[in-house]
Copies of this chain bind each other. A is one copy, B any other.
Amino acid sequence: PAGIPVEPVNEDDPGLYDDLSLAEHNAVRVYMESRETLALTPWDEAGFSDNYINSIELHVPVKSEALAFLDGGGDKPERQALVTVHAGGKTPPVVEEYVVGPLPNPARHAPYSNPARRSPIPWTSRAIDAKEYALIFPIIENATAAVHDILKESYGYTYHNCSGHCLVDIDTVPKGYRSGQRRSWVLFHRGGVGGVTYFVGFMIQITHESVDPSEWHVSRVYYNKQYFDSVEQLITGYADGSVEKDTPHADIQDDEILYPTFVRRGKPQPASPSRGPTLTEPGGRRYAVRGRHVEFMGWSFDWRLTTSQSMQLYDVRMNGERIAYELSSQEATSFYSGYNPGMLNNLFVDSYWDVGRSFELVRGIDCPKTATFFNTLQQRSTKEPRLMQNAVCVFELNAGIPLRRHFDSDFAGGFNFYGGMADHVLVLRHINTVYNYDYVYDYIFHQNGVIEVRVGLTGFILTSQDKNSYGYPLYGGNIGNIHQHAFNYKVDLDILGAQNRFETVDIVLENITDPQRPDLRHIQTRIQRNLRRTEREAAVQYDFNRPKYYNFYNEEETNRFAVNRGYRVQLNGIAKTLLPRQDWAPMRGVAWQDYQLAVTRRKESEPSSSSIYNQNDLYEPLVDFQTFIDDDENIVDEDLVAWVTLSTHHIPHSEDFPTTATAGTQMQFFLRPFNYYDEDPSVGSSNAVLITPGERSGSVRVERFGTPTGPACVSEQSPFRYNGTWRGPH
C-alpha cells in the first residue's frame, strides 16, 4: 500500500511559514525593480556599483500575530518578503533590507529596522557576490599569469589559462583583522575530484576595501612560507635565487589522483557485489505531508528552508499541544588553526556562504529509498530563484532498537510477560554542502515525545602546507589542519503557553546522618531545583563536575502527580571553545559558542543568534549574541528561548579520506519531556507488542493491538532519479 498521499503546497493558501513560491518571488522582484525611488538595476544588467537585489526570501510573521491566528482565531498575518539590496550605487554604498508586502501582490515596502542590530549594515560586512567576484577575478588572473612559470615549476599546477593540472581559487574569511577592513587571502587548491583536499603553498592577498574597484590590488603574496609585498617581488627573488623554491610533490603529479576520490578501490566489500538491507513500508506511508506541514503519530510541525540559516521548524506540537514555537538552525562555524595565511584566516561562519546550499539528495544513500523528497526555491546572488530539487527529505525510520521493552521473568524458568515496541521515528533531513564540507542535519521525532536534533559531519577536509603542530601529515606533503566545528540552534520552547520558567535540576552531594543508624554518616546524591531568574544566571558554561538537568516548565501547569510540566534539554555533543572572547577579537561575532546553552527572553528584535554579516565583521558584528544576555532580563514566567551549541574539535587523520565519515562525528541534543505527560505518550501505539504465557506450557499469546502481521510482499522498487542541477525553475 502506498499509504497516506502527499499533498503539494497550496500556493493559493500557503501556510504561515511556507517559503515563497516562484510567483511570489517574481512578484516581489518586479515590484521592487519598479520602484523608481529605489533605483534598482535588474540583476543581469547590474554591476558592482549599481543598486541591485541580492536576495529574496520569506519574512516570517511576528510571533504574536502568528499565535493570534493559530490559537486565537485572529486574522491570518499578511505574507511578506525580506529583500536584501546591495546598494553599490549609493554614497557611501550600503546593504539595505526591505520588508515587502502583502503577498502575492506587493503594494508596499519599508526598511527592515531592528534596534538590536547595527544600522546601517556596513558595506564591508556584506557577503561577497558575483558582482564583486567579477572584479576580483581579473586581479587573480593577472597575478597568476605573472607567476605561471613559478606555479608550474613549484607544483605542476597552474591557474591562468590552464588545462589539465589546474588550480582553483577560494577566498578566506574574515576579510581583515579589524572591523571595516576588506582584504581577502586567495588560496589555490587542485582542480579535479577531491582537489579541495590539496592546497598549494602560494597565496595572494587582495585588498578590495575601497568603494572604487580600480583601487583594488594585490597587497601581499605568500609563497613557500615566505612573504612578499607584491607579485613582482616574488618573481624577482625567484629569478635571482633569493627565494627558497617549492618543489612538486610526487603524490599530486597525476591528474587522476585516486586518493581523494570516491572511486572504489582496495579489497572488495562484499566479496561480490550485493545489495544491503533496505527499508520497506509494508504499511505504506504513515506520515502525512501537506505542503510544508508534516504529521506523524501525534507530532506535527511546519518547516521552511532558508537560504542563509537552512532549516527552521515552526509550531512543533505533540498531540495538539505546542512544544516549541520555533526550532531552527542558526549558524555553523568552523575555525581553523595553522601557520600559513590561509589557515590563519579561515574562520568560517557558514551562513555567509552563498555556497552553503542544500543540494539534491540521493535516494537510498542520503535518505532511505522510502523517503519523501521536497524541492525548495532559493534566491541569492542570482537573477531568479534556484530550484533545488529533492533538497529535503522526510521518512519514517525503523531505528533498529527497541524504544522500550521489558522481559518480566518469573525467576523460575518462565516469564510473566514481555512488552516492547520498536523505535519508529520520523526524520526530517537536509544536507548542507558548504564548499568542501557536508553537514547532515536531522530532526528526529520519537514516539515517546522526544525530539532529537542531530548534525553529522562528512565531506572533504581542508589541508595545507603547514607545521605538524596543527595537524597530521596527509598526502602531497600537506597536513589536515585542526579546527573546531560549532552549530547553534534556536529552540523557542513554549510549554503550554509562552510564559515559562527555566531551572537547573542539580545533582548534588549530601553527607547526612544515616537515618537508620545515627552513629553512621551516609553520603549520597540528591536533587536541588534551582530556578534561574535572569539571563546571566541562565547562561550555561558546561561543568562536567556539576551534573544537572536543564528544565523548561510551566509554573501554572502540572501533571497528574502535581509536578510542573516541562521539557528538558539534554546535550550530547558539546565541546569547549578554548578561544578566549575577551582576548581574541573575532570571537565577539560568535559569542554563542561560549555557551553550551543560553536562555533569553524572546524578542522579535533577536530573531537569530547570528547573521550573514557577522562573517566579515566578527569584530563589531551585526548580531552580537552577548547583548541578548547582557541586559540580564528577568526570565521567570516569560517567553523563553533556548540557544543550544553543539560542537566538536576535529583533528583530521588519514581516515578522513576520501571524506570525513558520520560514524562517530554525530552531535545531538534532545528535547525530552520531563514530567510533561502523565506517562510515555507512546503507550497509545498499536505497534507495541505484549506477549504473555499461553494456556499450554511453552505457548504464548501475542497481542499486537490490531496491527496486521504475516507475509507481505513488498516491492523494493522505488524510482531512482537524479539530476544534480540547481538552475532556474523553468
Report if A691-B270 is in contact (Cβ < 8 Å); known contacts: A283-B276, A470-B526, A527-B470.
no
Report if A706-B273 is in contact (Cβ < 8 Å); known contacts: A448-B661, A525-B337.
yes
CB proximity to B under 8 Å, residues A669-702: 670, 672-691, 693, 697-698, 700, 702
Decide: A576 and B547 in contact? CB cutoff 8 A.
yes
User: Which of A65-73, A358-366, A597-605 lines the interface with chain B?
Assistant: A358-366
Decide: B386 and A413 in contact? CB cutoff 8 A.
yes
Decide: A683 and B663 in contact? CB cutoff 8 A.
no
- When chains A and B are docked, how far (Å) is the Cα of A460 from the Cα of B416? 14
Decide: A570 and B664 in contact? CB cutoff 8 A.
yes
CB proximity to B under 8 Å, residues A360-402: 360, 362, 364-368, 370, 386, 395-402
- When chains A and B are docked, how far (Å) is the Cα of A673 from the Cα of B652? 11
Report if A689-B365 is in contact (Cβ < 8 Å); known contacts: A359-B415, A684-B269.
yes
- When chains A and B are docked, how far (Å) is the Cα of A362 from the Cα of B474? 47
Q: Check if A572 is an interface residue, CB within 8 A of chain B.
A: yes
Which of chain B's residues has its CB closest to A728's CB? B413
Decide: B469 and A438 in contact? CB cutoff 8 A.
no
Which of chain B's residues has its CB closest to A261's CB? B419
Residues from chain B with Cβ under 8 Å of A507 in the complex: 482, 578, 649, 651
User: Which of A78-86, A494-502, A619-627, A714-722 lines the interface with chain B?
Assistant: A714-722
Decide: B456 and A433 in contact? CB cutoff 8 A.
no
Residues from chain B with Cβ under 8 Å of A523 in the complex: 579-580, 583-584
Measured CB to CB, the closest approach of chain B to A406, in angstroms, equals: 5
Checking B278, B452, B515, B723 against A279 with a beta-carbon cut-off of 8 angstroms, the contacting residue is: B278
Checking B277, B684, B714 against A398 with a beta-carbon cut-off of 8 angstroms, the contacting residue is: B277
Decide: B403 and A662 in contact? CB cutoff 8 A.
yes
User: Which of A14-22, A139-147, A555-563 lines the interface with chain B?
Assistant: A555-563
- When chains A and B are docked, how far (Å) is the Cα of A659 from the Cα of B679? 9
Q: Check if A268 is an interface residue, CB within 8 A of chain B.
A: yes
- When chains A and B are docked, how far (Å) is the Cα of A297 from the Cα of B20? 46
Decide: A366 and B269 in contact? CB cutoff 8 A.
no
Which of chain B's residues has its CB closest to A565's CB? B654
- When chains A and B are docked, how far (Å) is the Cα of A227 from the Cα of B488? 53
Q: Check if A327 is an interface residue, CB within 8 A of chain B.
A: no
Decide: B277 and A370 in contact? CB cutoff 8 A.
yes
Decide: B526 and A482 in contact? CB cutoff 8 A.
yes
Decide: A717 and B711 in contact? CB cutoff 8 A.
yes
Decide: A409 and B691 in contact? CB cutoff 8 A.
no
Decide: B711 and A716 in contact? CB cutoff 8 A.
yes
Q: Check if A280 is an interface residue, CB within 8 A of chain B.
A: yes
Contact with B along A639-667 (1 / 0, CB 8 A): 00000000001010111111111111010
CB proximity to B under 8 Å, residues A280-312: 280-284, 286, 297-298
Measured CB to CB, the closest approach of chain B to A623, in angstroms, equals: 22
Measured CB to CB, the closest approach of chain B to A596, in angstroms, equals: 9
Decide: B365 and A422 in contact? CB cutoff 8 A.
yes
Residues from chain B with Cβ under 8 Å of A298 in the complex: 267, 269
- When chains A and B are docked, how far (Å) is the Cα of A279 from the Cα of B688? 17
Q: Which of A270, A319, A677, A727 has the most CB of B within 10 A?
A: A270
Checking B396, B484, B525, B527 against A579 with a beta-carbon cut-off of 8 angstroms, the contacting residue is: B525
Decide: B584 and A527 in contact? CB cutoff 8 A.
no
Measured CB to CB, the closest approach of chain B to A100, in angstroms, equals: 26
Q: Check if A514 is an interface residue, CB within 8 A of chain B.
A: yes
Q: Check if A238 is an interface residue, CB within 8 A of chain B.
A: no
Residues from chain B with Cβ under 8 Å of A422 in the complex: 276, 364-365
User: Which of A37-45, A210-218, A537-545, A628-636 lines the interface with chain B?
Assistant: A537-545
Decide: A708 and B278 in contact? CB cutoff 8 A.
no
Report if A265-B683 is in contact (Cβ < 8 Å); known contacts: A362-B418, A438-B406, A673-B655.
yes
Decide: B398 and A344 in contact? CB cutoff 8 A.
no
User: Which of A112-120, A155-163, A439-447 lines the interface with chain B?
Assistant: A439-447
Q: Check if A111 is an interface residue, CB within 8 A of chain B.
A: no
Q: Check if A509 is an interface residue, CB within 8 A of chain B.
A: yes
Q: Check if A31 is an interface residue, CB within 8 A of chain B.
A: no
User: Which of A52-60, A88-96, A121-129, A423-431 lines the interface with chain B?
Assistant: A423-431
Report if A578-B278 is in contact (Cβ < 8 Å); known contacts: A406-B262, A414-B727.
no
Q: Check if A530 is an interface residue, CB within 8 A of chain B.
A: no
Q: Which of A297, A447, A660, A714 has the most CB of B within 10 A?
A: A714
Decide: A273 and B509 in contact? CB cutoff 8 A.
no
A interface residues, tally (CB under 8 Å) = 211
Report if A458-B405 is in contact (Cβ < 8 Å); known contacts: A362-B691, A448-B663, A722-B700.
yes
Decide: B659 and A405 in contact? CB cutoff 8 A.
yes
Decide: A404 and B527 in contact? CB cutoff 8 A.
no
Q: Check if A531 is an interface residue, CB within 8 A of chain B.
A: no
Residues from chain B with Cβ under 8 Å of A74 in the complex: none
Q: Check if A137 is an interface residue, CB within 8 A of chain B.
A: no
- When chains A and B are docked, how far (Å) is the Cα of A424 from the Cα of B325? 35
Decide: B654 and A402 in contact? CB cutoff 8 A.
no
Report if A416-B193 is in contact (Cβ < 8 Å); known contacts: A675-B472, A680-B661.
yes
Decide: A505 and B651 in contact? CB cutoff 8 A.
yes
Residues from chain B with Cβ under 8 Å of A572 in the complex: 572-573
Measured CB to CB, the closest approach of chain B to A519, in angstroms, equals: 10
- When chains A and B are docked, how far (Å) is the Cα of A657 from the Cα of B406? 12
Contact with B along A447-476 (1 / 0, CB 8 A): 111101000101110000000011111110
Report if A264-B683 is in contact (Cβ < 8 Å); known contacts: A438-B406, A654-B563.
yes
Residues from chain B with Cβ under 8 Å of A262 in the complex: 406, 417, 419-420, 683, 688, 690
Decide: A404 and B661 in contact? CB cutoff 8 A.
yes
Which of chain B's residues has its CB closest to A708's CB? B275
Decide: A708 and B522 in contact? CB cutoff 8 A.
no
- When chains A and B are docked, how far (Å) is the Cα of A651 from the Cα of B551? 12
- When chains A and B are docked, how far (Å) is the Cα of A714 from the Cα of B725? 33
Q: Check if A421 is an interface residue, CB within 8 A of chain B.
A: yes
A-B contacts besides A710-B717, A711-B717, 10 pairs, CB < 8 Å: A193-B416, A266-B683, A275-B709, A276-B283, A419-B658, A450-B663, A452-B664, A469-B527, A654-B679, A714-B714
A-B contact pairs, 24 of them (CB 8 A): A262-B688, A265-B683, A274-B283, A275-B708, A282-B716, A337-B526, A338-B524, A359-B415, A364-B422, A395-B400, A400-B427, A404-B659, A404-B662, A407-B433, A413-B725, A418-B724, A446-B663, A449-B655, A471-B527, A508-B578, A527-B651, A549-B651, A655-B677, A700-B723
